Amino acid sequence: MAEKSVTEGTPTLVQGTVRTVLFPDSAISGRLSYDLPVKIDSKFTGEVKASDLLVVGANAHVEARVAARNLQLEGKLIGSVQVVGCFEIMPGGHFKGDAQAAELRVHPGATFDGQGKITGEA
């Protein structure tokens, strides 16, 4: 959820806070596009474009083509991934497909099943 701060009595959103946009027990298909850090924690099929951080939560099952600045995978993701920065697969995260990223981090307890191209360029 987004945190709020108060500046001179006016609440504002703190930049860089991850917002959950699709919650557990929901399912959706289509095309999503975000300019803020977001978290998908549901079933999703389609295409996602995120110009900031995209978190695929522990409850998520995503089958999609993903383009993001940075991607953190905690749940399941099947598809193709193109990440400008870091693609990080957390413990318990499962990826199957093709990935291209400047940096790839696969933590112990995570799964990467597919092909990857690491560019080393952010």
In the chain, what are the domain boundaries?
A: 4-118
Q: What is the pLDDT of residue 15?
A: 41
Q: What is the pLDDT of residue 18?
A: 66
Distance CA 119, CA 62 (A): 24
Q: What average pLDDT does range 65-75 have in this prediction?
A: 97
Mean pLDDT of the chain: 86
pTM: 0.81
What are the tens digits of pLDDT across the range 15-42?
A: 456 666 666 777 889 999 999 999 999 9
